[in-house]
Structure 1
């Protein structure tokens, strides 16, 4: 039996609650076989101490408590689990060898551009944002764009704050904040902390909807290639509309736009902020949308070998996971076969 197949079967038995002590020993041996020198570690602890701490946490979750839905991912990714505690961080590699970065490209209406570079430490610091006014070198910014594996937090000309996920583009209306409504066009995912400004409405337009606010905090995920647009409200009140209907949204409500209907539910929204802590979280999302989002983080191209099943999966990937471990998790959750070559991820669902 291929080693990865045996590990996958052990993981499945763990998730079913029928794993044996022998399974635990094999999983631990598999975990210890990985070369930790391939990860960049910022720590005052030795690699052995970090590895022992990670395994202690993982094994405690595996065998001392009932496995929860999200924890299944931690099981499958034990060899690369990142523990954000005790002063150490793992920064994940994406697109094989690249690392996540913090930065954004700015363009004016004529295509002239400049670049702002920040740091992941600043991105993770909730108090630190980059002001466009002091960094755009007199550029009349109309477009902000992050690349694959790139994140940024900025202050717009009206004082509103925006955190941008990877591969996200925001376009500002001409004379943004100076006259008329403040309109932004979003392709990607962004968290908005909108500042009230001269009673001007703040409007976010995506491929399939429009959100209207005065001052509030909300998150919108609307990549062009995703089948669904998801909006989450944390504070205040927003009006959301598509071509078919309009809904008022209250805090802790999530609205899913499938291109036709707007489905609003009240729920725990903590997982929706995880990307701002450099964690990849998804709850009951379509498998193709999860894969597209992984592509935004890790920078690979996607090639499907057969029809994509209508399947929803849930989980959370901690920062620090190597791409090979992410793909192992994806295979375990979806039943697909994933193969990465020359930065192209080939996915086959049928057996």
Structure 2
């Protein structure tokens, strides 16, 4: 296997984001003795990282960890592990520690979690309020399926699976082209199909303001607060503009994610497909797929980025890679609608992992506690974090 492919698969394995096809490739790579040298080099990179040296297990502990992992029930999917006996102690221990992290973040209960609860908190769900041009507010959580309203020749309906769709009414009525706003609360999310057939997913504590009809404007302009994932319908004559914070993102037809929460230190635009231009205070940056624009103040920095991390929330997951506990707990706070309080010195460790957003908050916190770097106490809708 070539070096670039091996590097990519190893990174996907580290962050628990291998697709089924990639997992098969990774299994095949582990089983091929020709890859031993390349895999050893990749493991050495992890083993010798400065930020992980303080967490390195000694040989005895590493052997115990590896033994524990190999004794656990494995998925039914056929796996070939003939490579294990051929690996050096160093690479076996390094991969063992990586696998252990993945097991922990999947919620394996070692019986050592000290998290305590006054009560548990259920995950968020599809919740939103739609505000119409005339000021009427409709709870999309409670609204029945079918037609919700008609305005300016546009029919607004709620589908069987809970999406909001805008369509031209059979008989168009004359009227002013106003604006609608859809807002998700903390602990909510929602998906809307806009009048131009663009699709937008809103994360918790977010809002989107948009016109009820795009046909009369030269540009399709919307305003976002919080976080949203966009799949923009192609229309070269009418560019799509997202205003978020002190930046604007201009597209013709593409898939991208925008994180503009007011409590995050940076605004981030991540491109999955197509092309977008990010503009702020006279500066601009053109993104290609797999890149992220990071806006701090008036400065725009472009970096290569694992797009799965940016859209994990849309796929009902928490995913993080070398992120601190403050960032992780801001995500938890928004999704579970809880208050988070830090007591004492903050942990300076970085976390890597993936967890389902469908779990109660207890499962998420237990998984984080199993790293041994952080502890939690839950009192109602208040989470106390200690080192």
Question: Under a length normalisation based on structure 1, what TM-score does the superposition of the two structures give?
Answer: 0.67
Is 1:98 matched with 2:122?
Answer: yes
Is 1:234 matched with 2:258?
Answer: no
Structure 2 residue aligned with 1:159:
197
Structure 2 residue aligned with 1:262:
300
Distance 1:170 1:197, change over 3 A: same
Corresponding residue to 1:130 among 163, 179, 187:
163
Q: Which moved more, 1:230-239 or 1:303-312?
A: 303-312
Q: Aligned equivalents of 2:319 and 2:99: distance in 1? A: 9
**Residues 185-264 of structure 1 mapped to structure 2, 5 A cutoff:** 185-197=223-235, 199-243=237-281, 245-264=283-302
Measure how far apart 1:248 and its partner are: 0.7
Measure how far apart 1:206 and its partner are: 1.4
Larger Rg: 2
Distance 1:312 1:170, change over 3 A: farther
Contact 2:167 2:195 survives alignment (8 Å): no
Q: Give the 3-state SS of the residue equivalent to 1:240 in structure 2.
A: strand
Structure 1 residue aligned with 2:327:
289
Structure 1 residue aligned with 2:136:
112
Corresponding residue to 2:210 among 172, 187, 197:
172
Measure how far apart 1:194 and its partner are: 0.8
Structure 2 residue aligned with 1:342:
380
Distance 1:70 1:209, change over 3 A: farther
Is 1:74 matched with 2:103?
Answer: yes
Measure how far apart 1:317 and its partner are: 1.1
Measure how far apart 1:227 and its partner are: 1.6
Structure 1 residue aligned with 2:61:
18
Which consecutive residues of structure 1, in runs of 5 or more, have no partner in the other structure? Answer: 1-11, 32-51, 81-94, 119-127
Deviations 1:257-304 (A, max 9, x none): 233432212244233332222111123345322211111112211223
Distance 1:22 1:114, change over 3 A: closer
Measure how far apart 1:160 and its partner are: 0.7
Distance 1:19 1:102, change over 3 A: same
Distance 1:311 1:114, change over 3 A: same
Contact 1:69 1:315 survives alignment (8 Å): no
Structure 1 residue aligned with 2:221:
183
Measure how far apart 1:319 and its partner are: 4.6
Question: Under a length normalisation based on structure 2, what TM-score does the superposition of the two structures give?
Answer: 0.62
Q: Give the 3-state SS of the residue equivalent to 2:224 in structure 1.
A: strand
Measure how far apart 1:131 and its partner are: 4.0
Which consecutive residues of structure 2, in runs of 5 or more, have no partner in the other structure? Answer: 1-54, 82-91, 110-118, 143-160
Contact 1:70 1:314 survives alignment (8 Å): no
Measure how far apart 1:172 and its partner are: 1.8
Measure how far apart 1:25 and its partner are: 5.9
Contact 1:284 1:313 survives alignment (8 Å): yes
**Backbone CA RMSD of aligned residues:** 4.1
Q: Give the 3-state SS of the residue equivalent to 1:225 in structure 2.
A: coil
Q: Aligned equivalents of 1:70 and 1:293: distance in 2? A: 24
